[in-house]
Amino acid sequence: MKTVVLVYSGGLDTSVCIPLMREEYGFDRVVTVTVDVGQPQDDIRQAEERARALGTEHRTVDARSEFVSEYCWPAVKANGDYQGYPISTSIARPLIALKAAEVARELGADAYAHGCTGKGNDQFRIEYVMRTLTPEIPIIAPMREGRLQPDGTREPWTRTEEIEYAAAHGLNVSHTRDRIWSIDENLWGRSIEGGRLEEPDYAPPEDIFHWTRGIDDTPSDPRVITVGLEHGCPISLDGQRMDGLALVTTMNALAGEYGVGRVDIMEDRMLGLKVRENYECPAAVVLLAAHRALEALVCTQGELRFKASVDREWGDLAYRGLWFDPLKEDLEAFIGRVQERVSGEVMIRLHRGSCTVVGRRSPWALYSEELASFDSKTFDQADSEGMVKLHGLQGRMYWSLREAQQRGS
């Protein structure tokens, strides 16, 4: 019996893959794997119901706590973003592929399948993990490979053709021709794309947002919250210690109520395509802001300058899904050493879509009020005179030589 393990979200692409595995690829046994990284529970149940209705062997893997501790918190430590937004979809894909690989090993599967298209990033992220952990198992990507034609060739699927195919096979999917949003959710962020949202000058309708309130619907009075961190990881909210899952879930609801976390960005995908993306990531925006503020308080100037380049490199690797790359491990060795001192509290003001740091404190603070204050005499300002005289010495020498050259010409 030929067995294929299908990474299954319950959406249009992956649902279409189920009958395709039998009709066009000849698999007798289709095992669907849905990995819970914070999707709505209704979506999880819907995926389970659809999979069973389509005659698959279905497994749901609850990986929410692991996602926070092993993926979100490393992203916080590295101030993980890509082109100005918190990376979220990208850091969930390696974990999803990892769980699918565990099932494939257990079952001795003959192949993997996924619903990624040939235009997106997820094909890289998912297949990289599968090929790293189980290089002997082949991978099938029906949406990328195309629709089988009567002459035996394949042509790319369109979203409209997928909807028609789903309807012909009795698949009850929520997509329509008029409203074709592609939505991906996990604990760290929610992405919305597709349809008219792909147009750079189209204002997104309010109904695409589910995690964040519109500015006019947010509370009129601001709220100041206190985020506690320990060794670079968020650990508490307003003095109440929480596990990672509870903290992220609570912060998503709280910051979303104040309209914090919406991002509308033009993103450069790995293939070079420039696409328009809308994101909601309230918890990520707040917790990353808190982490950056605390690092600025406890790290030296040199550490901050060097870590900025390390963070950019880490974010690029994470965006590309290269979770097991040795360079990522090397970068995390430096990041981890810095995080030993990133402990303390950060006060953040939430109001009308904004997230503003208004205070921070840490036992590792590289700050002295006695030295910094204009009212203090501890710092002998006369000591600066010699340094000021030498400031920009080489540049001044260049300017003098340039002036002399111009006078002589």
The set of catalytic residues is 13, 93, 122, 182
Which H, E and C letters describe 247-307, residue by residue? HHHHHHHHHHHCCCCEEEEEEECCCCCEEEEEEECHHHHHHHHHHHHHHHHHCCHHHHHHH
d(CA 199, CA 259): 23
**How far is residue 184's CA from residue 139's CA, in Å, rounded to a whole number?**
22
Tell me, rounded to whole angstroms, the distance of Cα 24 from its chain centroid.
34
Residue 192, classed as helix, strand or coil, is strand
Sign of CA dihedral 397, 403, 407, 408: positive
Which of 39, 184, 85, 84 lies closest to 126, judged by CA?
A: 184
Q: How far is C-alpha 378 from the geometric centre of its chain's CA atoms?
A: 46
Rounded distance between C-alpha atoms, residue 84 and residue 177, angstroms: 32
* Spatial separation of the C-alpha atoms in residues 21 and 108, rounded to whole Å: 17
Between the CA atoms of 296, 322, 190 and 193, what dihedral angle is there, to the nearest 10 degrees? Answer: 120
Q: Which two tokens stand for residue 269?
A: 């995908």
Q: Give the relative orientation of helices 301-319 and 89-107 as an angle to the nearest 10 degrees.
A: 50
Q: Using the 8-state DSSP alphabet, how is residue 157 labeled?
A: P
